[in-house]
């Protein structure tokens, strides 16, 4: 067992053939990665998340496209979507299914035409500058392919876009990047599902994720990022969102724990009247570690943020939540609410939460709340008195706890899949399907 | 309206006068010799000199903390004088009559009860003028109850076993940069010991005051409440107006033994600097209490002064069933910056803590709440409730909330909530409709906003605190 080799990491993908523009991006990123200060326990944003888990990836090696042999459509049954499938970071056209939608461009980076390139050149890396997060640079170092979504002005995408990242290849561990750029024109509408899954037998992996979502004036983006990798997987990812005037983003981040799972979600309100709903669910058990950092920048007046994050932590797992809301001096009439609730199911589990408010304007309404506790004894008692077993009652209450957020997902097929995951996780497959069970 | 605001905001710092007393001050700078000299001047025993030196060596290796949400030019610790005592002390006044009349007039201007008011209010005052305690009243009465209330420099000689046992037991010498500095050079402060089962017959009070220019003040307070005892301690602070920034790095240690109860109240109005942020006190204070079984410690603070505040009165709930409380009003105006809050460390079973923090920001100030609630794996059934509210007055100030919650016990319940808003237009309208001017209305609303904290203060302080807020805030509404 050696330590994580940062120099090796920087040049890991350098030999991999790629279009010239991707190689150029890699080089820039490598310089940034080399210059970026390495987070320690003293780094505020990494106070509760040690990078020791990276030491276990001394094996660092490029990912190879693994053997597919699975049905991507079955991941979210009933989701009628344009689907892009990446296996170990490599785009697999034969598993993907792209239907033509007028005004909607869905393409992987390597297949980008000159028009796509213009969009990419104008937007890629604009939101994720990476000055505050070295792993944004790492994502650039490993850039090999990615997804471009472009929805033209006034176009409402008829079908959602489903981007699937599959870990396969039982022939050893692998490291790769996930990259996505979405640009929504004025008044455009799009639903996007990013899903990470591992096939049975998938080895260890280290994934540096990065999605940039740019939402134009009056446009609406529905976004779900679903992390369901196996336990040994390490994912350090970031999602950057920018909202123009009157734009709206409704996002759900759903994460099961892993050896190390760290997501930085950063949203900027750039235009007045912008609004967002950011929901988060994290479920961690065994010795898993899950860390969700969110930052919402209110840079202009009249923007609205509504954020609810909930987590269930069992066994000796650890969950970290940091939710920062920053109201800039000119952002009068801002409204921001954040709630973070955590259920601790075991005495060995740990939750570290820090909701933050940083406010420089006076005519605002901001609040945040955080709780950490076990399942409410009174609710439990109520169910027990009705003849429900203790274990079953706990599952019901835990399910209800997160189902409140799942119920806000617009797409029924997706919501059903999420419920299934929650049920599986709680170890109770017999719950009634659909609806608010608790 | 805006002229009115201007004039009120320009209001002078009422306690900003300088007393011309000849004092003995060490030249600026700090090395081992200065530490030895301070210790020698106080005729301290060898162990304490060594203790200070050890702290000094630790301090030399430490870096100034930079994580707080405050910004100021670096402090030149070699430009600070680390000891200052009024000269007339050398002869040692035996009673109030012998005290330098200049000093007494200073206290009078501050409105501190030394003569009649002390008796009327039933307050025993251990007044610290710069660094040396000038006079201690009510000692007799306290003596009857067995209560020890004296300057810590005296306690070193009269109660060496207690001082040696508890000094640094709650805030270790190398706890943090400023605590280490204080441990090395602390000048004086109060020492309180309440014997087992005794309920202190009166409220104890100390007024701190920084007088000499370019002197840092480093008091050290140690309060020990023995088993089943009860004490309420009041601390008030003011400083004269000076252009330079002055350093204040105090350490307060509270020890509540089994079943004891300590209530520690502070009203702090150190000079906040002028409207352009010139001058003012740098207040870098470490306050911490340790609770044994069934003990309780309650911090109540009203902070309206200081250019920079860096202060986190904390409670370590080591004993089972112990209770920690923190009630705070922090007000910043003009260019003041405050980063203040509390730490509640739950170690024992069924420990409980309550945090009520009210931050008010006006002018171009910055006011941050920073708190930590830590539930250790052993803290079965622990309970915390935190409420942080911020009120913004004016659109150029900042209000921030940074609560850290670390829970490692499933049976514990931790709740935190925070809100930020401005003075409600509806409430203002209602008040004005009933004939109150905007000033009065805001004052009323702010007082209401702070009520939960004020009601925790002893009566005399509650009145003073209310007045302080009114003075500091009047006119900031617009």
Is the minimum CB–CB distance between A360 and chain B shorter than 8 Å?
Answer: yes
Nearest CA among A112, A174, A195, A173 for reference residue A148: A112
To the nearest whole angstrom, how far is the Cα of A342 from the nearest Cα of chain B?
10
B413 Cα to chain A: minimum distance (Å): 4
Q: What length does chain B have?
A: 478
Spell out which residues of chain B touch residue A350, defining contact as CB-CB under 8 Å. 406-408
Which letter, b or e, does each residue of A161-172 get, where b requires 16 or more Cβ atoms within 10 Å of its Cβ? bbbbbbbbbeee
Which residue in chain B has the smallest CA separation from A334?
A: B421
Average pLDDT over residues B1-19: 48
Residue B454's pLDDT band, with cuts at 50, 70 and 90, is confident
Q: Is A183 on the interface with B (CB under 8 A)?
A: no
Widest pairwise Cα distance in chain A: 68
Residues of B in contact with A346 (CB under 8 A): 410
* DSSP bridge pairs for B199: B230
The shortest CB-CB distance from A359 to any of B377, B399, B405 is to: B399
A432 min Cα distance to partner chain B (Å): 28
Q: Which of A349, A350, A368 sits opposite B418 (nearest CB)?
A: A368
Q: Which range, of A98-102, A191-195, A317-321, B416-420, averages the lowest pLDDT?
A: A98-102
From residue A91, alpha-carbon distances to A66, A113, A179, B403 in Å are 11, 16, 11, 43
How distant, in Å, are the alpha carbons of B42, B151, B218, B386, B471 from that of B157?
A: 10, 10, 20, 42, 42
pLDDT at A82 over 60: yes
Q: Residue B132: how many CA atoms within 13 Å on its side-chain side?
A: 20
Let me know: does B121 contact B199? Beta carbons within 8 Å: no
Contacts of A370 in chain B (CB under 8 A): 403, 405, 414-417
* Segment of A302-306, A386-390, B272-276 carrying the highest mean pLDDT: A302-306
A423-432, B148-157, B377-386, B433-442: which is most confident: B377-386
pLDDT digits (tens, 9 = 90+) for B87-124: 544 444 445 555 556 555 555 555 555 443 343 334 45
Q: What value does the mean pLDDT take over residues B150-177? A: 92
Closest CA to A32 of A143, A175, A135: A135
**Where along chain B do its domains lie?**
2-422
- In the block, tokens 């009024």 appear at B86
Pair B113, B123: CB distance under 8 Å = yes
* Torsion from C-alpha of A388, A390, A395, A401, nearest 10 degrees: 90
Q: B320-340, pLDDT tens digit by residue?
A: 999 999 999 998 888 889 999
**Residue B121 neighbours by CB under 8 Å, 6+ apart:** B113, B460
3-state helix, strand, coil in chain A (%, to 5): 20, 40, 40
B414·A374 Cβ contact <8 A: no
H-type alpha helices, A43-133: 52-55, 114-123
Strands B251-256 and B296-303: unpaired
Q: In angstroms, rounded to a whole number, what is the distance separating the alpha carbons of residues A234 and A257?
A: 9
Cβ–Cβ gap A358/B400 under 8 Å: yes
Q: Is the pLDDT of residue A172 over 60?
A: yes
User: Nearest CA to A355 among A369, A372, A341, A345?
Assistant: A369
Instruction: Give the per-residue pLDDT at A433.
Output: 41
Q: For residues B84 and B211, give the distance between their C-alpha atoms in angstroms, rounded to a whole number.
A: 9
Residues of A in contact with B409 (CB under 8 A): 344, 347
What does the pLDDT read at residue A114?
92
Question: What's the confidence (pLDDT) of residue B120?
Answer: 34
Distance from CA of B389 to the nearest CA of A (A): 9
Best residue of B376, B377, B418 to probe chain A, by most A CBs closer than 10 Å: B418
Question: Pairing relation of β-strands B132-136 and B123-129?
Answer: antiparallel
**Are A372 and B414 inside 8 Å of each other by CB?**
yes
A356 near B CB under 8 A:
yes
**Of residues A219 and B29, which shows the higher confidence score?**
A219
Contact B410 A358 (CB under 8 A): no
Q: Which of residues 38-67 of A touch B (CB under 8 A)?
A: 44, 48
Confidence of residue B130 (pLDDT cuts 50, 70, 90): very low
Query: A365 vs chain B: nearest CA distance in angstroms?
Result: 5
Instruction: Please write down the HEC assignment for all residues of A74-89.
Output: HCCCCCCCEEEEEECC
How far apart (Å, rounded) are the C-alpha atoms in residues B17 and B19?
7
| Residue A284 confidence class, pLDDT cut points 50, 70, 90 | very high
The answer to whether A369 contacts chain B (CB < 8 Å) is yes
Rounded to the nearest angstrom, the minimum Cα separation between A361 and chain B is 5
CA distance B356 to B416: 10
Distances (CA, A) of A4 to A1, A10, A56, A173, B414: 9, 11, 7, 14, 37
What is the arithmetic mean of pLDDT over B270-292? 85
Q: What is the pLDDT of residue A89?
A: 86
Residue B202: pLDDT band with limits 50, 70, 90: confident
Average predicted confidence (pLDDT) for chain A = 90
**Taking the CB of residue A261, how many other CB atoms lie within 10 A of it?**
28
* Cβ-contact B214, B76 below 8 angstroms: no
Best of A298, A344, A374 to substitute, by most chain B Cβ atoms within 10 angstroms, is A344
3-state secondary structure of A291: strand
**pLDDT for residue A356 is more than 70:** yes
B197: pLDDT strictly greater than 50: yes
Q: What are the two backbone dihedrals, phi and then psi, of residue B273, each rounded to the nearest 5 degrees?
A: 90, 165
Going by C-beta distance under 8 Å and a sequence separation of 6 or more, which residues neighbour residue A362? A332, B392, B393, B394, B395, B397, B422
The partner residues of B215 in beta bridges, in order of sequence, read B81
Q: Nearest by CB to A352, from B377, B394, B405: name it.
A: B405
Total number of residues shown for chain A: 438
Are A341 and A370 contacting, i.e. CB atoms less than 8 angstroms apart? yes
Indicate the average pLDDT of chain B. 81
Lookup result for tokens 């309440």: B194
Tokens 């000849």 sit at which residue?
B22
**The complex's ipTM?**
0.86
CB nearest A369 (choices: B410, B417, B421): B417
Question: CB–CB of B407 and A372 under 8 A?
Answer: yes
Q: What is the reported pLDDT for B376?
A: 95
Dist. CA A36–CA A59, nearest whole Å: 22
What pLDDT digit, counting tens, does each position of B53-73 carry?
A: 999 999 999 988 888 888 888
Residue B133 above 60 pLDDT? no
Distance CA A405, CA A400 (A): 9
For range B261-269, the mean pLDDT? 89
Among residues A161, A293, A282, A290, which one has the least CA distance to residue A240?
A293
CB distance B400–A346 less than 8 Å?
A: no
Q: Is B204 exposed, middle or buried (0-12, 13-18, 19+ CB in 10 A)?
A: buried
Which residues have a Cβ under 8 Å from the Cβ of B286 and sit 6 or more positions away? B171, B175, B176, B178, B179, B182, B249, B250, B251, B252, B312
State residue B467's pLDDT score. 73
CB proximity A412 to B under 8 Å:
no
Interface with B, mutate which of A341, A354, A394 (most B CBs under 10 A): A354
| Cα A395 from Cα A429, distance rounded (Å) | 10
The pLDDT score that the predictor gives to residue A150 is 96
Number of residue pairs across A and B with CB atoms under 8 Å?
Answer: 115
The alpha-helical segments, DSSP class H, found in A198-322 are none
B214: pLDDT strictly greater than 60: no
Q: What pLDDT score was predicted for residue A414?
A: 95
pLDDT, residue B237, reads 63
If one counts every other C-beta atom within 10 angstroms of the C-beta of residue B84, the result is 22
Q: Is the pLDDT of residue A2 over 60?
A: no
Report yes or no: A376 at the B interface, CB cutoff 8 Å: no
What confidence score (pLDDT) does residue B99 get? Answer: 54
Can you tell me the distance from the alpha carbon of B9 to that of B444, in angstroms, rounded to the nearest whole number? 18
What mean pLDDT is predicted for residues B429-445? 87
Phi, psi of B286 (to 5 degrees): -115, 115
Residue A129, pLDDT score = 81
Q: Which residues pair with B183 in a beta bridge?
A: none
Do the Cβ atoms of B131 and B167 come closer than 8 Å?
no
**DSSP, res A93:** G
pLDDT over 70 (residue B278): yes
Closest residue on chain A to B380 (Cα): A347
Cβ-nearest to A355 among B390, B403, B410 = B403
Q: Which of B390, B397, B409 sits opposite A347 (nearest CB)?
A: B409
User: Are B415 and A371 within 8 A, CB to CB?
Assistant: yes
The DSSP H or E segment spanning A30 is: helix A20-35
Distance CA B337, CA B71 (A): 8
Mean pLDDT of the region A265-284? 97
B224-243: average pLDDT: 79
Sign of CA dihedral B60, B63, B69, B73: positive
Contacts of B407 in chain A (CB under 8 A): 342, 344, 350-352, 372
B124 vs chain A: nearest CA distance in angstroms? 42
Place of tokens 């719950």: A431
- Tens of pLDDT along B359-368? 999 888 999 9
SS3 state at B352: strand
Which residues share a beta bridge with A337?
A: A306, A367
Per the CB < 8 A criterion, the answer to whether A280 and A253 are in contact is yes
Asked whether the beta carbons of A287 and A262 are under 8 A apart, the reply is no
Please report which helix (H) or strand (E) contains residue B464, including its range: helix B459-473
Of A345, A355, A359, Cβ closest to residue B398: A359
pLDDT > 80? residue B6: no
How close does chain B come to A50, measured CA to CA in Å? 15
Q: What b/e string do you get for B100-127 counting C-beta neighbours within 10 Å, with b at 16 or more?
A: beebbebbeebebbbeeebeebebbbbb
The answer, for A349 touching chain B at a CB cutoff of 8 Å, is yes
């Amino acid at each position: 067992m050696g330590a994580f080799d940062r120099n090796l990491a920087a040049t890991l993908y350098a030999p991999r053939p790629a279009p010239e523009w991707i190689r150029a991006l890699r080089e820039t990123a490598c310089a940034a990665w080399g210059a970026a200060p390495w987070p320690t326990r003293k780094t505020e944003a990494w106070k509760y998340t040690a990078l020791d888990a990276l030491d276990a990836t001394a094996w660092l090696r490029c990912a190879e496209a693994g053997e597919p042999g699975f049905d991507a459509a079955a991941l979210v049954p009933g989701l009628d979507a344009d689907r892009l499938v990446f296996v170990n970071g490599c785009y697999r056209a034969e598993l993907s299914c792209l239907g033509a939608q007028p005004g909607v461009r869905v393409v992987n980076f390597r297949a980008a035409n000159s028009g796509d390139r213009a969009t990419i050149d104008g937007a890629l890396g604009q939101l994720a500058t990476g000055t505050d997060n070295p792993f944004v640079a790492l994502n650039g170092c490993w850039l090999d392919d990615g997804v471009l979504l472009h929805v033209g002005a006034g176009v409402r995408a008829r079908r959602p876009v489903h981007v699937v990242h599959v870990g396969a290849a039982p022939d050893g561990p692998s490291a790769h990047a996930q990259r996505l750029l979405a640009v929504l024109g004025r008044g455009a509408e799009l639903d996007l599902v990013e899903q990470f899954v591992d096939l049975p037998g998938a080895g260890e992996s280290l994934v540096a994720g990065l999605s940039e979502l740019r939402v134009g004036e009056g446009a609406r983006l529905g976004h779900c990022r679903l992390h369901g990798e196996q336990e040994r997987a390490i994912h350090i990812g970031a999602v950057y969102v920018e909202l123009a005037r009157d734009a709206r983003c409704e996002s759900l981040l759903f994460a099961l724990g892993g050896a190390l799972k760290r997501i930085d979600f950063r949203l900027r309100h750039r235009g007045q009247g912008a609004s967002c709903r950011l929901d988060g669910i994290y479920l961690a058990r065994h010795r898993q570690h899950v860390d969700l950092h969110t930052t919402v920048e209110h840079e202009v007046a009249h923007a609205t943020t509504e954020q609810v994050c909930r987590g269930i932590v069992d066994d000796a797992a650890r969950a970290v939540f940091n939710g920062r809301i920053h109201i800039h001096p000119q952002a009068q009439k801002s409204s921001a609410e954040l709630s973070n609730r955590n259920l601790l199911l075991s005495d060995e589990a740990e939750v570290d939460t820090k909701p933050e408010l940083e406010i420089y304007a006076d005519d605002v309404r901001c609040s945040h709340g955080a709780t950490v506790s076990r399942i409410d004894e009174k609710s439990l008692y109520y169910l027990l008195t009705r003849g429900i077993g203790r274990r079953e009652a706990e599952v019901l209450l835990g399910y209800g706890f997160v189902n409140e957020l799942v119920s806000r997902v617009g797409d029924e097929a997706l919501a059903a899949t999420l419920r299934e995951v929650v049920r599986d996780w709680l170890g109770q497959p017999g719950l009634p399907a659909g609806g608010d069970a608790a | 309206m805006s002229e009115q605001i201007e004039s009120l905001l320009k209001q002078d710092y009422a306690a900003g006068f300088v007393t011309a007393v000849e004092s003995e001050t060490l030249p600026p700078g700090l090395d081992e010799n200065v530490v030895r000299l301070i210790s020698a001047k106080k005729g301290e025993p060898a162990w304490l000199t060594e203790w200070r030196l050890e702290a000094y060596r630790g301090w030399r290796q430490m870096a100034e903390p930079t994580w707080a949400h405050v910004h100021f030019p670096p402090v030149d610790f070699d430009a600070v004088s680390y000891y200052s005592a009024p000269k007339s002390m050398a002869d040692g006044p035996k009673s109030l009559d012998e005290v330098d009349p200049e000093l007494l007039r200073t206290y009078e201007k501050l409105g501190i009860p030394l003569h009649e008011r002390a008796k009327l209010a039933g307050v025993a005052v251990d007044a610290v003028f710069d660094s040396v305690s000038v006079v201690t009243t009510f000692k007799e009465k306290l003596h009857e109850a067995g209560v020890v209330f004296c300057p810590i420099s005296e306690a070193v000689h009269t109660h060496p076993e207690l001082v040696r046992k508890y000094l640094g037991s709650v805030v270790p010498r190398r706890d943090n940069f400023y605590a280490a500095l204080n441990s090395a050079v602390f000048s004086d402060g109060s020492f309180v010991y309440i014997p087992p089962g005794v309920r202190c017959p009166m409220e104890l009070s100390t007024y701190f005051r920084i007088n000499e220019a370019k002197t840092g003040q480093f008091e050290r307070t140690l309060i020990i409440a023995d088993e089943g005892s009860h004490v309420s301690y009041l601390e008030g602070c003011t400083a004269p107006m000076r252009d330079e920034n002055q350093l204040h790095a105090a350490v307060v240690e509270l020890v509540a033994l089994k079943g004891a109860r300590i209530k520690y109240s502070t009203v702090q109005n150190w000079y906040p600097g002028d409207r352009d942020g010139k001058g003012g006190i740098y207040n870098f204070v470490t306050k911490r209490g340790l609770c044994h079984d069934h003990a309780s410690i309650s911090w109540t603070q009203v902070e309206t002064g200081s250019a920079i505040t860096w202060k986190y009165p904390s409670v370590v709930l080591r004993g089972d069933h112990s209770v920690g409380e923190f009630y705070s009003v922090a007000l910043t105006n003009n260019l003041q910056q405050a980063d203040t809050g509390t730490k509640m460390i739950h170690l024992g079973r069924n420990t409980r803590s309550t945090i009520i923090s009210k931050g008010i920001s006006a002018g171009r100030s910055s006011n941050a709440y920073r708190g930590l609630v830590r539930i250790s794996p052993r803290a079965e059934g622990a309970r915390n409730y935190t409420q942080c509210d911020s009120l913004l007055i004016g659109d150029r100030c900042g209000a921030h909330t940074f609560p850290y919650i670390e829970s490692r016990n499933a049976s514990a319940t931790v709740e935190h909530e925070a809100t930020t808003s401005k003075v409600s237009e509806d409430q203002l309208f209602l008040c004005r409709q009933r004939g109150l001017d905007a000033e009065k209305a805001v004052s009323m609303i702010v007082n209401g906003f702070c009520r939960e904290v004020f009601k925790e203060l002893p009566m005399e302080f509650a009145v003073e605190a209310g007045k302080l807020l009114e003075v500091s805030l009047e006119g900031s509404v617009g």
